Amino acid sequence: MKIVTDGLIIKQQNIGEQDKLCTVLTRELGVVRAFVRGAKNIKSPKSAATGLLCYSQLSLYHSKDAYVIDEARVQEMFFDLRKDVEKVALAQYFCELAAYICPTEQSADKQLSLVLNALYLLSNNKKHHSLLKACVEMRLACLGGYMPDLVMCRGCGEYSSQQMYFSLSDGSILCDKCFAQAPRGSSVPIDQGVLQALRHTVFSEDKKLFSFSLSEEGLEKLSYITESYICRVLEKDFQTLHFYKTIKS
């Protein structure tokens, strides 16, 4: 069975002297692993099109126990992204996160579009890195079934107060009055600006996801919250995230 689909190469590893195994986030099939025969030969038309962070049109052949990429044509290589080690590190974190949380053998159109948009904005310096990171983390969490409960205070139903608290363990929010009466846990104080930004990452239309502004301090707080939340709910320690934070600092 042959399938033609768009896909972003999110991981690759060498197999023998000439071949490699790619993990691809595809539009129709979600995350798939596919062999590329002769991909390490620089004369192969599949060599560039199956490189890490390449977005390509792929012709996939599904054999008995594996996918094989028969043909590949580059659509976007994000050249400018590759000139900055911090950008590359953040992009690789997006890829590792997508590989872990995105579905397999089912459509991942929204997830692929999300990551591609983030890579475009990252490559072209369109948005602050922390804003991109927070949006990707929280929207992937929502698409993966881990949407936080940000509509109102879990205790009294209050929509907003001067200061509220976000629970990193279950994604709920509490107003300051209810928080004072609740058992202490892994909650983070958030002001109105960060709360509205959090709600935006969850409830906004896809085309408006990256369209908000926040102070640099607020963006750092937002990024810490979304990072802590997704790592807790997934119970996963992302090595590329540690590398990105090391490069950034």
For 84-95, the pLDDT digits (tens) are: 999 999 999 999
Q: What value does the mean pLDDT take over residues 154-165?
A: 92
Q: In the prediction, which pLDDT does 41 show?
A: 74
Over residues 6-11, the mean pLDDT reads: 97
* Average pLDDT for the chain: 93
pTM of the complete model beyond 0.75: yes
Predicted confidence (pLDDT) at residue 155 exceeds the cutoff of 80: yes
Question: What's the pLDDT at 44?
Answer: 76
- Dist CA 86 CA 74 (whole Å): 24
Predicted confidence at residue 249, as pLDDT, reads 84
Task: Report the Cα 248 to chain-centroid distance in Å.
Answer: 18
Smallest CA-to-CA distance from 137 within 29, 32, 240 is with: 240
pLDDT in tens, 185-237: 789 999 999 999 999 999 999 999 999 999 999 999 999 999 999 999 999 99
pLDDT reported for residue 17: 80
For the chain, the domains span 2-135+239-248
CATH of 2-135+239-248, one of 2.40.50.140, 1.20.1560.10, 3.40.50.620, 2.60.40.10: 2.40.50.140
Does the pLDDT of residue 37 top 80, yes or no?
yes
